[in-house]
Amino acid sequence: MKNNRRDFLFQEKQHVNNFTFDKRVAKVFPDMITRSVPGYNAIIDNSGNLAARFVQPNSNCYDLGCSLGATTQELARNINVGNVTIIAIDNSQAMLNHARLSSDGIRRDTTISLINDDIRQTPINNASLVILNFTLQFIQVSERLALITKIFEGLKSGGCLILSEKIRFKEPKIDQKMVELHHQFKRCQGYSDLEISQKREAIENVLVPETIDIHIERLKKIGFSSMHIWFQCYNFFSMYALK
């Protein structure tokens, strides 16, 4: 099955339901996410770069909310130390069904395991790298501290968490400006105003963005020793935090 179909899901006027990662979304997901998230490809590519820098031998890497495995594939290609297992987890079987991972250019002693599970339940252990690329935003705000605390406890010393998210801004005028710039980006990617507004309505109650300050305060409170924002475009950012 091809994974390069055009996202037309919100093209027609419709009764809008809450967004879910179902079969229809899985079919068009690569097109949907690259045309919706400014800098998505740069973030995936650089997750590989960070993996090359931080993954330790004889350890686990976790790609939490792996969708079709784009980040997992990039990690696998960039790991340059021995005996690493990548554990890629998603709770949508429809998304995992569309994952296409290639073994080209991957070390023989790197293992990939795709798992259908809820990341709130999955144990994390012996981890040198954990990635949350646009996944924390779908976890209830009240459950985020517990999830990141579990990740911190499962990380080895020197281990790295990559966190990429849609964000909001405390100052309403700035927030509004960034939302408009994001919508302008989507228009440039070929989405109509109707598609933009219907997608927004579908995702509003499902994806809850937080400010950068809230993310950083939480990571500090949990005990991460340093935090570095390495990418930001409008209301999207990526950072890495070290244990």
- Please identify which residue in 21, 152, 234, 236 interacts with ligand GEK, judged by CB under 6 A: 21
Q: Is 87 in the site for ligand GEK (CB under 6 A)?
A: no
Q: Is 78 in the site for ligand GEK (CB under 6 A)?
A: no
Q: Is 70 in the site for ligand GEK (CB under 6 A)?
A: yes
- Please identify which residue in 27, 38, 56, 65 interacts with ligand GEK, judged by CB under 6 A: 65
Beta-carbon contacts of residue 180 (< 8 Å; ≥ 6 apart):
none
Report which of 77, 117, 75, 78 is spatially closest to residue 96, judged by C-alpha positions. 117
Structural tokens at position 4: 């390069």
Tokens 């290639």 belong to 102
CA 89-94-100 angle, 5° bins: 70
Report which of 160, 141, 149, 150 is spatially closest to residue 211, judged by C-alpha positions. 141
Structural tokens at position 82: 């021995």
Taking the least distance from each CB to ligand GEK, the nearer of 24 and 220 is: 24
- Please identify which residue in 10, 27, 28, 33 interacts with ligand GEK, judged by CB under 6 A: 33
Q: Is 231 in the site for ligand GEK (CB under 6 A)?
A: no
Helix intervals (H) in the chain: 23-36, 40-54, 70-78, 93-97, 141-154, 172-188, 193-203, 212-222
Q: Is 118 in the site for ligand GEK (CB under 6 A)?
A: yes
| Strands 60-64, 84-90: pairing kind | parallel
Q: Is 185 in the site for ligand GEK (CB under 6 A)?
A: no
Taking the least distance from each CB to ligand GEK, the nearer of 90 and 195 is: 90
Report which of 144, 150, 136, 164 is spatially closest to residue 65, judged by C-alpha positions. 136
Q: Is 135 in the site for ligand GEK (CB under 6 A)?
A: yes
Q: Is 28 in the site for ligand GEK (CB under 6 A)?
A: no
Q: Is 46 in the site for ligand GEK (CB under 6 A)?
A: no
- Please identify which residue in 10, 54, 62, 134 interacts with ligand GEK, judged by CB under 6 A: 134
Q: Is 38 in the site for ligand GEK (CB under 6 A)?
A: no
Residue 73's Cβ-count burial label (10 Å; 0-12, 13-18, 19+) is buried
- Please report how close the Cβ of residue 217 comes to ligand GEK at its closest, in angstroms: 23
Distance in angstroms (rounded) separating the CA atoms of residues 236 and 53: 23
Taking the least distance from each CB to ligand GEK, the nearer of 76 and 83 is: 76
- Please identify which residue in 34, 85, 91, 197 interacts with ligand GEK, judged by CB under 6 A: 91
- Span from 5-13, 52-60, 118-126, 148-156 in contact with ligand GEK (CB under 6 A): 118-126
Enumerate binding residues for ligand GEK (CB under 6 A).
Answer: 21, 33, 44, 65-67, 70-71, 89-92, 95, 118-120, 133-135, 138-139
